[in-house]
Amino acid sequence: MIRVCVVDDEPLARRGVLSLLAPFDDVEVVGEYEEGAAALAGLQARGPDVVFLDVQMPGMTGLDVLAALTPSRRPLAILLTAHDSFAVRAFALNAVDYLLKPIDDLRFAEAMSRVRTLLRLRDLDDPGKQLAALPARRYLEKFSVRIGHRTLFIRVDSVAWIGADGDYAVLHAGERTYIVRESLHQLALQLDPSRFVRVHRSSIVRLDQVAEMHPLTNRDAMLRLHDGTPVRVSRTYIDTLIRALQAHR
């Protein structure tokens, strides 16, 4: 089970996070706090795996709470805020993700997927947990594409980026495009996050295909891929993309 604490000074916001966590059978909420000092004491006492933590709270902020914990006792943190000006300090404290309020359901699911991956890697690094570790997750290696009565198998390393077309996804492989009968959200959860990153509600890019990134207004950005294709990045995904590019480099 993934042991989770929720920290937010707004009762409605806490209930929102709890309702988003409710469908996950492998999650146990072990603490709920409305201010920083109580949260710090609770995190130290309960030692959760993950904390959903509001950045702006009266008195001790969410980032202050993280900074007060020793790195070895610091849970994976998913920060919650209506503003996006705290990213630099947040990532210095090894925050897993950064969700803007109101929280988007798809982004929440992606953050939880990232948590599972990191917890699995952490357990594999712990000799005491290696015997109990689950088999490593296998990510998608080929896309299945139906064309008439035929099924084509497209290797993921031939796809530079993926766009959305309603409930379907469009693979861009060189000069060819292929339609996959799955949503972009479903594909994002099946792809290796060290190689593919969602950058917009309507697009996923392969990290090694990114040639340039240019900032736009409102913290959006524009990517240029090696083949010259422009792909827009929304501010919701910009910090996750930057971290992934840094790790990939």
Give me the CATH number covering residue 173.
Answer: 2.40.50.1020
Same domain, 190 and 92: no
Q: Is residue 110 assigned to a domain?
A: yes
85 and 15 within one domain: yes
Return all residues near 104 (Cβ < 8 A) that are at least 6 apart: 236
Long-range contacts, 181-184 (Cβ 8 Å, 24+):
181/146
My answer on whether 111 and 196 are in the same domain is: no
Q: Whole-model pTM?
A: 0.54
Domain count for the chain, please give it: 2
Say whether both 224 and 162 belong to one domain. yes
Q: Which of 125, 150, 169 is the last residue of a domain?
A: 125
Given a cut of 70, whether residue 152 has pLDDT beyond it is yes
In this prediction, residue 121 has a pLDDT band, given cuts at 50, 70 and 90, of confident
Q: Confirm whether 11 is domain-assigned.
A: yes
Domain end, chosen from 125, 152, 174, is at 125
User: Where does the pLDDT of residue 133 fall: very low under 50, low under 70, confident under 90, or very high at 90 and above?
Assistant: very low
Q: What percent of the chain has a predicted confidence (pLDDT) above 70?
A: 88
Around 152, how many Cα atoms within 13 Å sit in the side-chain half-sphere?
Answer: 14
Domain range enclosing 58: 2-125
Least confident of 2-11, 90-99, 163-172: 90-99
Provide CB contacts within 8 A for 239, sequence distance 6+. 84, 87, 91, 98
Does one domain contain both 35 and 111? yes
